[in-house]
Amino acid sequence: MSKKRGLSLDEKREKMLEIFYESQNFFLLKELEKLGPKKGVISQSVKDVVQSLVDDDLVAKDKIGTSVYFWSLPSCAGNQLRNVHRKLESDLQSGKKRLSELVDQCDTLKKGREESDEREEALGELKAIELKHKELKDEMGQYADNDPAAFEEMSWNTYTFY
């Protein structure tokens, strides 16, 4: 006894798109729920599948009065793909332009920073000064409790004036 497996979501989406492309017509959800099982999509999942197609802009949806109509034409899908392609191409071009700008900026910043003994010595001094600064800051933090200004501030905050 072999179990019959259902269609995956992608297969259901393809089957529902076939319904739209073959007929090139407008449908109510109720009509799609009747046509779906003929293509192998169970009627309970038709609504979710159609909504996922609408969310991905593969199927158009419009409410007219109290009815909601769904449709999709093959030319619409082609136009959408062309628009996506154009957008990706423009993003690619802007990315390439930005890359070349950053490479140029990097090259200009490297000028004057060539490796030399003077530069190494200056960087060593800078590191030593930064280390000394950190040590002094830590030492100052130890004496912060004995700061007269902080002590006076604390004593004024403990009194309340009426």
CATH topology of domain 9-72: Arc Repressor Mutant, subunit A (1.10.10)
- The reported pLDDT for the residue numbered 152 is 74
- Two tokens, residue 23: 């007929």
Q: What is the pTM of this model?
A: 0.49
- pLDDT, one tens digit per residue, over 131-140 is 999 999 988 8
153, pLDDT greater than 60: yes
Q: What is the dihedral of CA 132, 133, 138, 140, to 10 degrees?
A: 110
- Two tokens, residue 70: 């769904």
Domain definitions of the chain by residue range: 9-72, 74-109, 124-155
**Mean pLDDT estimate for the chain:** 85
- pLDDT, one tens digit per residue, over 21-35 is 888 888 998 988 888
- The reported pLDDT for the residue numbered 135 is 92
- The reported pLDDT for the residue numbered 91 is 95
Classify 25 as helix, strand or coil. coil
